[in-house]
Structure 1
């Protein structure tokens, strides 16, 4: 991320992923959120 703060989408996706990892629930939704956040980061951060 080149020293930039994570976007709101990335933070929310990370929280969802963490919850899914701990509980085993919502894995598909967490994966979708993570994909969206990653896709949005490409234009923003030039990844």
Structure 2
């Protein structure tokens, strides 16, 4: 991210992913949120 702060979607996706990793539940939701965050980051950060 070259020093940029993560977007709100990226922070939320990270939290959901962490919970899914710990509990084994919600992996589909975590994957979807991560995908949305990545898509949203493209215009913001030019990835």
Per the normalisation by structure 2, the TM-score is 0.97
Runs of 4 or more, structure 1, over 2 Å off, are none
Where does structure 2 lack aligned partners over 5 or more consecutive residues?
A: none
Where does structure 1 lack aligned partners over 5 or more consecutive residues?
A: none
RMSD (Å), alpha carbons: 0.4
The number of equivalent residue pairs is 47
Partner of 2:25, secondary structure, is: coil
Per the normalisation by structure 1, the TM-score is 0.97
